[in-house]
Amino acid sequence: MAKVHLRNVAGPLLAIVLFGLAVRLLVHEANSITWDDFKIGLTSVPTLYLVFAAFLVALNYGLLISYDLLALRYLCRSLPLRRVALVSFLGFTLGNNFGTFLAGAPIRFRFYTRWGLSPSQIVVLISILGLTFWSGLWFLGGTVLVCVPIELPPPYVLPFGTRTLGVILLSLAVGYLLVCTFWQKPWPIGKLHLRPPEPGLMAVQASVAAVDLLISATALYLVLPGEALVPFTLVLAAYLAAIAVSLISQVPGGLGVLEVILLALLKESVGDAVLASVIIFRTIYYLIPLVFGMTALVIHEIYGGAVEARQARRP
């Protein structure tokens, strides 16, 4: 019992520590940036690029519906597309900002249980969502780092090069593919026993997640300062590293962690104005969708309550 309690406390405690450390590093980096540099970063992005970045983010959230569709296909369950789109949009807009365990998972439990899925099926569905994302990150991140390795700044140096890290990620992707192809026994994950997805489903998983990451990295690239001459591959590699670390840290929304890693990896190439670009990206990709998600949730709950009240008044 004590071990279970310790395990439940350790995760949130680690997230709080990492969040505090990230905020401290971010404040330290921000103090070295002048207001003029920050203002240049805010105003030098062409309006057309901002509009196109917002369009890509909207397209990205539409693509995220595929995550839930693939998980339901794994479960051999079918639901109307409008329902899947609703729970996926709410799950990702709230989960991206408040964390999977605090918002993404509870939203899916709330809606999918209404629509006939058992709690164990929903746990499996959430596990498949995670596998979908990580399979794409392994494949895309490994390919990028092997072909275009990046140099980490001194505080973040690894005991091995980023090309080696890319080889590790690609090995994980290939290992996952081999398991899906040849391993037929269920995986014991806690109290669950999950069978590996079919190779065809696994390939679609990795493709969807890779396109998802490419689209969001392109949105980040578009909001960099207009005069910044930085290759897209560097931005993509920095974004993949920042996303991976922010998810592993368990800090809700990667708040502070995402910013400090992007700032550290792109500051030398882009300049001090990169801080403004990162804040613009946070606003477009996280905060604005959160407003739409909260609005959609409130409207749905009010409408659902009105329908239930109307049905209760019927004889």
Question: Are the C-beta atoms of residues 260 and 26 closer than 8 Å to each other?
Answer: yes
Residue 229 dihedral angles phi and psi, to the nearest 5°? -110, 90
Q: Residue 9: its pLDDT value, please?
A: 46
Given this model, what pLDDT does residue 153 score? 62
Instruction: Give the position of tokens 């801080």.
Output: 275
Q: Are 281 and 217 in contact (CB under 8 A)?
A: no
Helix H, strand E, coil C: the string for 8-45 is HHHHHHHHHHHHHHHHHHHHHHHHCCCHHHHHHHHHCC
- Expressed in angstroms, the distance from the first to the final Cα of the chain is 50
| DSSP conformation class of 102 | I
Write out the chain's pLDDT in tens, 315 residues. 444 444 444 444 444 544 454 445 445 444 445 545 555 555 677 889 889 999 999 999 999 999 999 999 998 898 999 999 999 999 999 988 887 778 888 999 999 998 989 888 899 899 899 999 999 999 998 899 888 887 766 655 566 677 888 898 899 999 989 988 888 777 776 666 778 888 889 999 999 999 999 999 999 999 888 676 788 888 898 888 888 877 776 677 777 777 777 887 787 777 667 778 888 888 899 889 999 989 988 888 887 766 666 766 666
pLDDT of residue 35: 47
List Cβ neighbours of 31 (8 Å cut-off, separation of 6 or more).
Answer: none
> What is the predicted pLDDT for the residue at 272?
67
Q: Quote the pLDDT of residue 171.
A: 93
The amino acid at residue 229 is L
d(CA 42, CA 201): 42
User: Residue 309's pLDDT is what?
Assistant: 67
User: Hey, what are 274's tokens?
Assistant: 């990169």
What pLDDT is attached to residue 43? 61
Question: In the structure encoding, which two tokens stand for residue 280, read together?
Answer: 């613009």
Listed in sequence order, the residues at least 6 apart from 298 whose beta carbon sits closer than 8 Å to its beta carbon are: none
Q: Structure pTM?
A: 0.83
Over its C-alpha atoms, the chain yields an Rg (Å, rounded) of 21
